Structure 1
Amino acid sequence: MRRNESGGYAPQQADNRALAEPTANVRNRWTTSIVVINIGINAAFFGPIQVLLGQQAAAFSAADKEGILALVTGAGAAVSLVANPLFGTFSDRTTSRFGRRVPWVFIGALLGAIGLVGLAGAPGVAAMTLLWCLVQFGCNGALAATTAAIPDQVPVRQRGRVGGLASMGTTVGILVGAAIGAAVAGNFALGFIICAVALLAGMVPYLFLANDPVLSPRDKAAFTWRNFAMGFWISPRRYPDFGWAWITRFLVNVGNHMVTLYLLFFLTDAVGYANPEFGVLILTGIYAVLTLVTAVIGGLWTDKVGKRKPFVIASSIIIAIAALILAFFPTWTGSLIGAAVLGTGYGVYLAVDFALLTQVLPSAASRGKDMGVINVANSLPQVIAPVIAWPLVTILGGYVTLYVAAAIIGLLGAVFVVRIKGVE
């Protein structure tokens, strides 16, 4: 690999680094490119999800806006479950001179941007649904390839730090998306275009700084349609550490989504806050700031001590405590404390659990697919949490029941992480 005059990396010849365990520390500029692309991808996700798609749904039919939004976001979530492992699998088998991951980051971001620009002029609900599915397909594909680049290139001793910074990029991206939605003041078409620009701009530094190892054709995994179809399944019997790590991430994310899902209605109906929309903004800001700070600190700390599981257990407990605060202290003060505690726990969890997951991947040859399967544990809770939360709030006791259940589900994640044997 040769550095070019601009400080980036020129396309390289195939070498044996693609399937090797990385040993050299990554440069700060490479880590920065990972943070920036995470900001772009998540701005493209959450600007539409938080604001723009809702505004567009209301423009099509004010009376049916909730149903339209549910249809569009539900279809997009279903696509995301497939896109992550699919793009990861393709990238694992790519022998491009630019590396395994770079081509799919480019293709995914380009598809996502095309979908966003298309949404700006969508003529109806059907087109809106199809275009949002294209956005989800492309952005999740780019995310899968980007995520796989970390275990490809970051040694174990740095993964907490890099995972924390990548998580910081995710949180900043969510805030950028919300800011775009607020800045366009109801002009959702302009908002979609700005999100597309943010996505493409976030991709550019990574393309020039990727230093992506090239997979030799002779090392390319054997490919048949049968093992492609079966390849998304990773046997928990054969790879128990991977199975327990996946379950842990899934449960903690379900609990976290249950806590945040009905926050607006919780402030309205349980807390009685006079301006619930502004209240959500305040609580989200507190949560985001604490997540940013503790993700970086937690990542550095876990790398320094060389342990992962104690941090995952502690952060899961902290997240559960935040849910219980909201359950039993449904006041504005309680909400502020709960948001701060939740952000503290979730920031540490994001950084450390990511590092842990990269250490239980079944094979270097399938890191992209395996990380794509891991990303399903992030996406699927967005579908599952509303199914669990709705009857708890409306039929089975209200917000106390909801937040106690969220605490229990999150604590199960702490219990199951103990079953992982290959990581301390």
Structure 2
Amino acid sequence: MVEARQSWAFLGAYALAWAGGSIAYVPFLTILLPSRIAELHDQTDAVWWLSTLAFSGAIMASIANILAGLASDLTRSRRPWVLAGLAVNLFALLQFGRAETPAQFILLIVIWQLSLNMVLAPLAAWAGDCVPDGQKGVLGGLLALAPALGALSSVFVTMAAAGQLGVQLALVAGLVAVFILPVLIFVAPRKVPIDTAPTPVAERRKAIVIPRATAIMWLARFLVQLAESSLFAFLLLFFRSVSEDVSETSVASLFAVVLCMAVPIALLVGRWSDRHGRPILPLAVCAAVSGFGLIAMALSRDLAMVSANYIVFGTATAVFLSLHAAQTLRVLPRSDRRGRDLGFFNLTNTVPSIVMPIFALTLIPALGFPAMMVMLAVLSFIASFLLVLLAKRAASRQQV
């Protein structure tokens, strides 16, 4: 029997909506918010306030994603939550240009993060409701568009309205609406037979014990995300430790190139995994390649080699994260609690931002950047090993 397929129109519109989520936070958190804080405070105070806002935002994002996903589970409806979150998020975003006091910034960042996760959590669960397992590899490949378009949106916004924060915020809001609204209003998903019924009581009791596949997928993503977050935060400083002539523009351009390269690779690998029924193996390979890229970066002594090895690491990691986001939908323990369970998976994105400074402050001052690269490589290799075990177990059972 041929498995029912979701329409390409919906898959494409969904991928653009997911990219809209990235556009909502990438230019804002990396450029616009720091610029606004820098206008109001000197360098020392600006660093302190940005750290405080980042920490507050990470905590709120962690909680809000779980609650928003659970709310969409309980109402058995995703789109109304996405629309409500989108409206509040865009309103909060536009208010940052007027904020001046610390209390205003903290209040806005809490509202902004809460509403952003009202968009992202139900949107993530919606894919599980609509996309069959045989298309999750392609879905993961399409999700690679999100970080690439998020990075490109930062370039567009800063070039189109340099120095005009209000206009830049309005541009971001407009782009987010343009990318997200079509899948909510104009493109309906095709009905395919995917289980969304409430789980029986006996099965709910079993789900209290986290299945091995779910735990491995969570831990593997956490380890790879920890490596990615750590390197992203200190990428400029690492490059300047190799060559003092490295500019912010060159590093940002390299980062954008990596994300754009990851899109076709993720699509090809995702399509391969669908055709061959091997959803986990590509994840294990990508994690291993990330580890080798980090080892090579630690051993490199000139800028050209560091850049080349970063491209290897960055591309493999970007492919891993996009494919993992789709394949995670296979291993969730309860079909009627996808939103809630994906909220717990979202902790793999937020917790590394809290843990990462501990690694950096421990290793970099004492042993330098190469030591941190080696440690991050070990984390990637552990993730790969765990996924290899999961892939073998899946192959023996012919299911994940």
What TM-score do you get using the length of structure 2 for normalisation? 0.89
Q: Distance in 1 between matches of 2:199 and 2:170?
A: 39
CA 1:153 to 1:389, structure 2 compared with 1: closer, same or farther past 3 Å? same
What does residue range 109-188 of structure 1 map to in structure 2 within 5 Å?
Answer: 109-188=86-165
The amino acid that maps onto 1:407 is A
Task: Report SS of the residue matched to 2:96.
Answer: helix
CA 1:182 to 1:135, structure 2 compared with 1: closer, same or farther past 3 Å? farther
Deviation digits for residues 127-171 of structure 1 (CA, Å, limit 9, x no counterpart): 112212222211122111111111111111100001210222233
The amino acid that maps onto 2:72 is S
Alignment partner for residue 37 of structure 2, among 54, 57, 80?
57
Q: Is the 8 A contact 1:256 1:410 kept in 2?
A: no
CA 1:315 to 1:83, structure 2 compared with 1: closer, same or farther past 3 Å? same
Deviation digits for residues 271-291 of structure 1 (CA, Å, limit 9, x no counterpart): 124142122123212211222
Q: Which runs of 5+ in 1 are unaligned?
A: 1-21, 223-230
The question of 1:379 aligning with 2:360 is answered no
The amino acid that maps onto 1:191 is Q
Q: Is the 8 A contact 2:286 2:319 kept in 1?
A: yes
Select between 149-158 and 165-174 the one with higher mean Cα deviation: 165-174
Q: Report deviation, 1:391.
A: 2.1
Q: Report deviation, 1:419.
A: 4.3
The question of 1:198 aligning with 2:175 is answered yes
Q: Distance in 2 between matches of 1:381 and 1:210?
A: 35
The question of 1:40 aligning with 2:17 is answered no
Alignment partner for residue 410 of structure 1, among 369, 377, 380?
380
2:219 is matched with which residue?
A: 247
The question of 1:264 aligning with 2:236 is answered yes
The amino acid that maps onto 2:235 is L
CA 1:331 to 1:382, structure 2 compared with 1: closer, same or farther past 3 Å? same
CA 1:219 to 1:342, structure 2 compared with 1: closer, same or farther past 3 Å? closer
Q: Is the 8 A contact 1:108 1:138 kept in 2?
A: yes
The amino acid that maps onto 2:227 is G
What does residue range 60-99 of structure 1 map to in structure 2 within 5 Å?
Answer: 60-63=40-43, 64-95=45-76
Q: Is the 8 A contact 1:50 1:181 kept in 2?
A: no
Select between 151-160 and 325-334 the one with higher mean Cα deviation: 325-334
CA 1:316 to 1:379, structure 2 compared with 1: closer, same or farther past 3 Å? same
Deviation digits for residues 37-58 of structure 1 (CA, Å, limit 9, x no counterpart): 1222111101111111111111
Q: Distance in 1 between matches of 2:16 and 2:369?
A: 37
The amino acid that maps onto 1:399 is F
What TM-score do you get using the length of structure 1 for normalisation? 0.84
CA 1:249 to 1:219, structure 2 compared with 1: closer, same or farther past 3 Å? closer
Q: Distance in 1 between matches of 2:124 and 2:197?
A: 21
More helix as a share of residues: 2
Deviation digits for residues 336-383 of structure 1 (CA, Å, limit 9, x no counterpart): 212320233123313432343111111111111112221221222222
Query: How many pairs are equivalent?
Result: 384
